[in-house]
Structure 1
Amino acid sequence: MTATWCDRCGRALADGDHTGCAAARELEPPRFCPECRRRMKVQVLPAGWSATCVEHGTLSTR
């Protein structure tokens, strides 16, 4: 998997500083697919989270 897009803000990784996004991602799930920039369906559970892109599948902490 090659990440082109920030999975938190949806902007291109090459555009600007994503330090704030990286810090926030330690506490919250991704919102955008890092490959295609689509908004993902996110489910947060007490034991973790899962985020699903219709094109690239599911990421999870489980």
Structure 2
Amino acid sequence: MYCDRCGEPAAEGDPAGDHAGCRAAREMEPPRYCAHCRRRMVVQVTPLGWTARCAEHGALQSAP
């Protein structure tokens, strides 16, 4: 599994070792990387939310 914000392996973490910065940023930002395959996703942000699409694993979207 990979971090959906920075794309690094989830077990490694950021310099602090826990992806705390990534989790904090993800409260306001859409994911940028697929957590399954680490591919960069196509992200579209609208006033109503966001969608993110991985070529291999499909689409995600923000909660309504």
- After superposition, residues 8-23 of structure 1 pair within 5 angstroms as 8-15=5-12, 16-23=17-24
Whole-angstrom CA distance in 2 between matches of 1:33 and 1:14: 15
3-state DSSP class of the match of 1:51? strand
Q: TM-score, normalised to structure 1's length?
A: 0.92
Corresponding residue number in structure 2 for 1:40 = 41
> What's the TM-score once normalised by structure 2's chain length?
0.89
The Cα of 1:17 is off from its aligned counterpart by: 1.6
Q: Residue 53 of structure 1 aligns to which amino acid in structure 2?
A: C
Q: Which amino acid aligns with 1:46?
A: P
Give the length in aligned residue pairs.
Answer: 59
SS in 1 for 2:59: strand
Q: Report what 2:51 is aligned to.
A: 50
Superposed displacement of residue 8, structure 1: 0.1
Letter in 2 for 1:58: A
Question: Which has more radius of gyration?
Answer: 2
Equivalent residue in structure 1 for 2:4, among 4, 7, 26: 7
